[in-house]
Amino acid sequence: MFNFDFYNPTRVLFGQGRIKDIDRRIPADARVMVLYGGGSIKTNGTLSEVLTALGTRHVIEFGGIEPNPSYETLIQAVSLAKQHNINFLLAVGGGSVIDGSKFVAAASCYQGEATEILQSRGSKIKQALPLGVVLTLSATGSEMNSAAVITQKAIKTKSAFFSERVFPAFAVLDPTKTYTLSKHQIANGVVDAFVHITEQYLTYSVNGLVQDRFAEGLLQTLLEIGETALAEPENYDLRSNLMWVATMALNGLIGAGVPQDWSTHGIGHELTALYDIDHARTLAIVLPAMLMERKEQKHAKLLQYAQRVWNIHEGDDTERVIQAVEKTRLFFERLGVPTRLSAYGVTDIQPILSQLANHQLTALGEHRDINLAVSERVLLNCL
C-alpha cells in the first residue's frame, strides 16, 4: 500500500427530517447565501424547509446554477456575496450546485483574478467561506469531498479544482429529498458512483485489501439496488443506500493508499464540454471501451473484479475479463443509459482528440501512459 494522508472534516447529518438540524450547525448571526439550481427545490418544498430552518438569520438566495456549473454564472454569485457581506454559503442541490458553491466560497475570498483558481487547479486557494450542503441528488460525492468541476463556457473547458478549504463543514443527506428525481437522474447517479469506484479500484494491486473490499462492497451494492432504485422512487431503504454508496464512493476513503486512474473522467469531461452530454452518460460511454483497451495493464484487477463483483467463474482468464466488461456495459444499458457515442449523435472523434490535446490530457491513467493514440483507439471503440 502507498503512504497516505486521510483527512475528511465533513460532518454528515444523515436521515429523514435532518434539514432542521442545520440550525445548530450555522452560527446564529451568520449572513447566509442559499445557492441552488434551476428550481427543483422550489417545486418540491426543499427550499421552504431550508428557509424555515434558517429562521431569523440574514438570508439571500442565488438560484440558476446550471448542470455543469459555469464560471460565467458563478462569478455573479461571487459579486452578490461580496456586496452583501455573506459569511456562510449553503448549497442546496446536486453536484453542480455544490461544486458551484465551492467555487463561490473560494472566489469570494480570493485576491486576484478568479480564473486563477481554475488554472491552478485550486492550489492558489488560501481561504474560503464556510460551506454547508443539503444534498438532493446522489451521484458525485461532492457533498463530502474537496473537489469541484467548473465549466468555462467561453472557452468550452471543463476543469476540476481541489482544496481542503472547500470541504463542506456539514452535509445533510436526507434520502427523501431524492424522491422527486427523474429516472434519468437516478440512473445517472448510479453510473457516476459506479465509475468513481472503478477509477479507484480497477488499476493495479498494491495489496490494499481494505480498499479493495470496500470498493467491491460498494460496487455490489450498486448492482443490487440500482435498477430497483429507479423503479421504486419512494423506497426509503433503497434511496438511503444509494445516497450513502454515492457519498462513500468519492470521499477519499477507498482511494487512500491505492493507485487511481481517472482517464474515463478526463475524456468524459471533454464530451460534456463539447456536446453537453450529461456527466454520468459520458462515463457510461467511455468506461467499457477504456477497460477493453487497458485489459492487459489492468488484467489482475479486472480478473478480481470479474470474480468478486460479478461472480464470473467460467472460462479462461481473458474470457472472464471480457465478460465482466460486457456485463458492466449491459448494466448501464439496463439503467437506460446508452453506452455508445452514436446514441448521442456523435460520429466524429477528431474534435474530442483536439480538446484532449488542447487541455494537455495526453498522459492519463494510473501509469500516465494513455496518450492521444491510446485515447483515439478508446474513442473509436465508443462509436
Least distance in angstroms from the C-beta of 44 to ligand NZQ: 6
Give Cα 276 distance to the centre of its chain: 16
- Write the DSSP assignment of 66-115 as a string of letters: PSS-BHHHHHHHHHHHHHTT--EEEEEESHHHHHHHHHHHHHTT-SS-TH
Q: Which of 73, 140, 328, 339 touches ligand NZQ by CB under 6 A?
A: 140
How many other CB atoms are there within 10 angstroms of residue 134's CB atom? 29
Q: Which does 137 bind (CB under 5 to 8 A by kind): Zn ion, ligand NZQ, none?
A: ligand NZQ
Size of residue set near Zn ion by CB under 5 A: 1
Output the smallest distance, CB 28 to ligand NZQ, in A: 28
| Residue 294 contacts ligand NZQ per CB under 6 A | no
Does position 361 bind ligand NZQ by CB under 6 A?
no
Q: What is the amino acid identity at position 280?
A: A
- Cell triple for residue 371? 496518450
Shortest spacing between CB 38 and Zn ion, in angstroms: 20
Name which of 136 and 240 has its Cβ closer to ligand NZQ: 136
If one asks whether residue 67 binds ligand NZQ (CB under 6 A), the answer comes out as yes
Residue selected from 143, 192, 199, 270 as contacting Zn ion according to rule CB under 5 A: 192
Nearer to Zn ion, 199 or 227 (CB): 199
Sign of CA pseudo-dihedral 241, 310, 336, 232: negative
Q: Which residues contact 244 (CB under 8 A, 6 or more apart)?
A: 14, 173
Report the alpha-carbon distance of residue 30 to residue 37 in Å, rounded: 22
270 scored as a contact of Zn ion (CB under 5 A) = no
Neighbours of 2 (CB within 10 A): 9
Closest distance of CB 42 from Zn ion, Å:
26
- Residue 149 CA to residue 129 CA, distance in Å, equals 18
Q: Would you say 122 or 288 has its CB closer to ligand NZQ?
A: 122
The answer to whether residue 63 forms part of the interface with ligand NZQ (CB under 6 A) is: no
Q: Shortest gap between Cβ of 149 and Zn ion (angstroms)?
A: 8
DSSP 107-145: HTT-SS-THHHHHTTTTT------EEEEE-S-SS-GGGS
Taking CB within 5 to 8 Å according to partner kind, which of ligand NZQ, Zn ion, none is near residue 298? none
Q: Which residue in the set 10, 68, 263, 339 belongs to the binding site for ligand NZQ (CB under 6 A)?
A: 68
In the 8-state DSSP scheme, what is residue 65? Answer: P
279 binds ligand NZQ (CB under 6 A): yes
Could you tell me how many residues of this chain bind ligand NZQ (CB under 6 A)? Answer: 34
Angstrom CA distances, 164 to 26, 89, 94, stand at: 19, 16, 20
Is residue 171 at the binding interface for ligand NZQ, with CB under 6 A as the rule? Answer: no
**CA distance linking residue 349 with residue 365, whole number of Å:** 20
Tell me whether residue 178 or residue 188 sits nearer to Zn ion (CB atom): 188
Q: Are 52 and 110 in contact (CB under 8 A)?
A: no
Closest approach of ligand NZQ to the CB of residue 329, in Å:
19
Q: Which stretch binds Zn ion (CB under 5 A): 98-106, 116-124, 184-192, 310-318?
A: 184-192
Measured CA to CA in angstroms, residue 358 lies from 270, 327, 351, 375 at distances of 11, 34, 10, 14
Question: What is the binding site for Zn ion (CB under 5 A)?
Answer: 192
Question: What is the binding site for ligand NZQ (CB under 6 A)?
Answer: 37-41, 44, 67-68, 93-97, 99, 136-137, 139-142, 145, 147-149, 177-178, 180-181, 185, 188, 192, 250, 265, 279
